[in-house]
């Protein structure tokens, strides 16, 4: 998080490489805040129109701008559901897995890379800057700032820690299968990929929490396609989901239908469960 002295501190940094890096990081932060301010201004205009019964001409006069500028703001500012992921930049983390032989000491699963790319695409539509990161096998905390963590409980401690702190849903391993557990009822939701015979579908978990002044979203599939299914669901339903949950902490479960490696469809099957 930047402070009021960051600008002067960057200017005073005697090391040119350090100064350049810090200037780049601060520019990204300022750009994201400017975009968020544009969203807040659009929301304020719509709120004044809806709740105070003001015409757009009256709003323009009150703000000291033209009615045409109000129209531009309403059509050009980012969508209000942008705030679902925070202000940005947003780190999108996927687990770095340990290889099984000396030729592959560590790697990122191809489905995780696809999920990371899908998250980047979604965030791009919301004018959010993305910082792709990898999650080390021993990492116990999310990346700093606003973040999306795409990681199951067995891939890194951070996945297990985020799930353990969810009062509504969890993941448990029973009978050689992973299940998503509804804590209040004890219901167990299993992936169709683990059924006998298996079906071409998977389950994915999503939670979204506010952690101080940042937002952390956590995505975990029972199998790798489940994470892709959550992102598929968010891409098609983020606006309505944001209207339903607002800024509350929650978690939910999505079922996705598979067509080979691609997601054919996705649907909410449990939740949102508010914390």
- CATH number for the domain spanning 72: value is 1.10.10
Q: What is the largest CA-CA distance in the chain?
A: 69
Q: The tokens of 221 are what? A: 């599939």
Q: What is the pLDDT of residues 184-197, one digit of tens each?
A: 999 999 999 999 89
1-39 tens-digit pLDDT: 444 458 888 888 888 888 888 888 888 778 777 777 877
What pLDDT shows up at residue 37?
82
Q: Is residue 198 part of a domain?
A: yes
Here the tokens at position 195 are: 């059924």
Q: Per-residue confidence at 203, pLDDT binned at 50, 70, 90?
A: very high
Q: What is the mean pLDDT of residues 89-107?
A: 77
**Inter-residue contact 141 to 93 (CB < 8 Å):** no
Q: Do residues 88 and 154 both lie within one domain?
A: yes
Q: Assess whether 141 and 211 both reside in one domain.
A: yes
- 109, 194: one domain: yes
Closest by alpha carbon to 31, among 131, 128, 146?
128
For residues 222 and 198, is the Cβ–Cβ distance under 8 A?
no
169 shares its domain with 229 = yes
Q: Are residues 139 and 101 in the same domain?
A: yes
Looking at 53, 78, 103, the residue that finishes a domain is: 78
**Residue 186 backbone class (left: φ over 0; alpha: ψ -120 to 50; beta: rest):** left
Going by the DSSP 8-state scheme, the letter that residue 176 receives in this structure is: T
- pLDDT at residue number 56: 87
Domain limit, last residue, from 48, 78, 108: 78
Within this chain, do residues 145 and 262 fall inside the same structural domain, yes or no? yes
Higher-pLDDT residue of 109 and 243 is: 243
Instruction: State the residue range of the domain holding 229.
Output: 84-274
Rounded to two decimals, the pTM is 0.79
Tell whether 119 is covered by a domain.
yes
Number of structural domains found in the chain: 2
Do 140 and 91 share a domain, yes or no?
Answer: yes
Cis before residue 136, ω within 30 degrees of 0?
no
Q: Do residues 134 and 221 share a domain?
A: yes
Question: Residues 214, 147: contact at Cβ < 8 Å?
Answer: yes
Does residue 245 fall inside a structural domain? yes
Tell me which DSSP letter residue 141 carries. S
- Would you say residue 98 lies in a domain? yes
Question: Same domain, yes or no, for 269 and 172?
Answer: yes
Residues 47, 23, single domain; the answer is: yes
Give the residue with greater pLDDT, 65 vs 275. 275
Residues 146-168: tens digit of each pLDDT: 999 999 998 899 999 999 999 99
Q: Which of 43, 78, 113 is the last residue of a domain?
A: 78
For the chain, what is the radius of gyration of the CA atoms? 21
- CATH code assigned at 89: 3.30.379.10
182 inside domain: yes
**109 and 224 together in one domain:** yes
In a domain, 1, yes or no: no
Confidence band, pLDDT 50/70/90 cuts, at residue 99: low
166 and 30, same domain (yes or no): no
State percent of the chain over pLDDT 70.
94
- 186-190 contact pairs (CB < 8 A, 24+): 187/270, 189/253, 189/269, 189/270, 190/222
């Amino acid at each position: 998080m930047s402070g009021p002295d960051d600008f002067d501190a960057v200017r005073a940094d005697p090391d040119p490489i350090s100064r350049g890096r810090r200037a780049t990081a601060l520019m990204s932060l300022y750009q994201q805040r400017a975009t968020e301010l544009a969203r807040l201004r659009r929301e304020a205009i719509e709120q004044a129109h809806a709740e105070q019964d003001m015409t757009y001409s009256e709003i323009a006069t009150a703000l000291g701008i033209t009615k045409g500028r109000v129209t531009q703001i309403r059509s050009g500012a980012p969508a209000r559901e942008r705030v679902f992921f925070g202000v940005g930049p947003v780190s999108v983390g996927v687990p770095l897995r340990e290889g099984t032989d000396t030729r592959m000491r560590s790697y990122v699963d191809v489905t995780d890379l696809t999920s990371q790319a899908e998250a980047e695409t979604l965030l791009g539509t919301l004018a959010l800057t993305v910082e792709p990161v990898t999650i080390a096998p021993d990492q116990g905390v999310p990346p700093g700032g606003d973040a999306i963590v795409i990681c199951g409980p067995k891939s890194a401690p951070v996945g297990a820690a985020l799930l353990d702190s969810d009062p509504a849903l969890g993941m448990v391993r029973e009978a050689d299968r992973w299940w998503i557990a509804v804590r209040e009822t004890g219901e167990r939701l299993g992936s169709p990929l683990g059924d006998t015979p298996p079906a071409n579908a998977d389950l994915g978990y999503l939670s979204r929490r506010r952690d101080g002044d940042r937002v952390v979203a956590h995505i975990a599939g029972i199998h790798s396609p489940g994470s892709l299914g959550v992102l598929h669901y968010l891409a098609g339903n983020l606006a309505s989901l944001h209207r339903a949950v607002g800024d509350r902490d929650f978690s939910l479960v999505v079922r996705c239908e598979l067509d080979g490696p691609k997601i054919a469809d996705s649907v909410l099957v449990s939740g949102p469960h508010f914390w």
